[in-house]
Amino acid sequence: MFLHRKSNHVFSVWQHIVLLTIRQYESKSFRMFVEWLVEAYYLRTFLQLSHIPHYTTLQKFAARINGTILEKIISSFILLLTNIGKIFTGIDSTGFKATHASQYYTERTGLRRKYAKLSIGADVIQQIICTVKIRRAPTRHDTIDFRPIITKTSDILPLSVVTADKGYDSEDNHILVREQLHAFSVIPARYRHVPIWKTHGRYRKQMKRGYCKALYNQRNKDETIISVIKRLFGEHITSRLVRTQNRELIFRCIAYNTHRLTNLTIIRWFLQSRSILNCLISIIVRPAKSKKEIAIPNPTSIIVCGILLLDEITAAANIMAKNIGIAYWM
């Protein structure tokens, strides 16, 4: 599949998306990533690249691709998990620095701090991002991003519970979740010093009287998702234009979903093969003949077990690019 019927048909859309996602995962510039791609023989073989693309090819594609396609890819990751019936949604936001100027230099020169604000709606049970909303900051409050994120998330799968912090406190948000989407909302009310009888709204009064802490504490996993994104890919944005900055943040979310889905796959494989691992452990450790004798590991069995585990880990790493392709075609 190509962006235009009159393109040169050298690199497909899927190949471009996989390469740009892996670039975020490797935290490299376009020039350094192309140089790194020369050594990545198995990746080029899997993607069936006829030759290595020029770095400007990736740059132009990142600026040209429609954001709707990328958002559809993000929303398709949760559908890859077949055991999901409803989404336990958590919403939160964070900022990414749009400049590499230090805080000391910014304060001394009086420059305005520029950063892009990323709002995410994620399934807190599986820790998979479902929808994103990007805008410039500092601007208005977080409540304006609540409706588009929750509405797009509900279009993927029905919602069960929606959790958010006090920054999203609004009676309209409660009405949207409970009466229109038929889910349960846990959004604590602000201004604790204001008595209940002065609090506006029926659902906000309920939050003042009390709410389930166990449900609300699941919102902390949104903070975990944001922390993983910043630790893996950094908190700085290398792009200069607003359009390319938005695409870079979306590709980071795709890279995170791929990373998380790969980890879930590895965990599932180990849980399913628990009986096999127990058998391997029993084979590896040679039982002691008496109480005074110590059980001695069998070196040959250790090597065999290591090869089997290495094969599973290698297979799980290889599905990273496949997950991006599957999400793209859904």
Q: Residue holding tokens 């889910």?
A: 183
What are the pLDDT tens digits along the chain (330 aa)?
Answer: 777 677 777 888 888 889 999 999 888 999 999 999 988 888 888 888 888 999 999 999 998 888 888 989 999 898 888 678 899 999 999 989 887 777 778 778 877 777 889 999 999 999 999 999 998 866 677 888 999 999 999 999 999 999 999 989 999 999 999 999 999 999 998 888 888 888 888 898 899 888 889 999 999 999 999 999 999 998 888 888 888 999 999 999 999 999 898 888 877 776 666 555 565 455 444 444 544 444 444 444 444 444 444 455 455 445 554 555 545 444
- Give the CATH number of the domain where residue 206 resides: 3.30.420
Query: Quick check: is 261 in a domain?
Result: no
Is the separation of the CB atoms in 86 and 158 below 8 Å? Answer: yes
Question: Range of 279's domain?
Answer: 273-287+295-329
Please check whether residues 112 and 41 belong to one and the same domain: no
Tally the domains of the chain.
3
Looking at 157-195, list the stretches that DSSP marks H as alpha helix, in order from N- to C-terminal side: 171-175
> 259: number of CA atoms within 13 Å, CB side?
19
Query: Quick check: is 250 in a domain?
Result: no
Q: Which tokens belong to 174?
A: 């409660």
Please check whether residues 218 and 88 belong to one and the same domain: yes
Question: In this structure, how many other beta carbons lie within 10 angstroms of the beta carbon of residue 253?
Answer: 27
Please check whether residues 191 and 318 belong to one and the same domain: no
Please check whether residues 24 and 167 belong to one and the same domain: no
d(C-alpha 308, C-alpha 167), whole Å: 49
**Dihedral sign for Cα atoms in the order 208, 210, 213, 215:** negative
Please check whether residues 109 and 22 belong to one and the same domain: no
Please check whether residues 169 and 282 belong to one and the same domain: no
Please check whether residues 17 and 166 belong to one and the same domain: no
Angle between helices 242-272 and 274-284 (to 10 degrees): 60
d(C-alpha 94, C-alpha 224), whole Å: 12
Please check whether residues 40 and 108 belong to one and the same domain: no
d(C-alpha 122, C-alpha 221), whole Å: 9
Query: Quick check: is 280 in a domain?
Result: yes
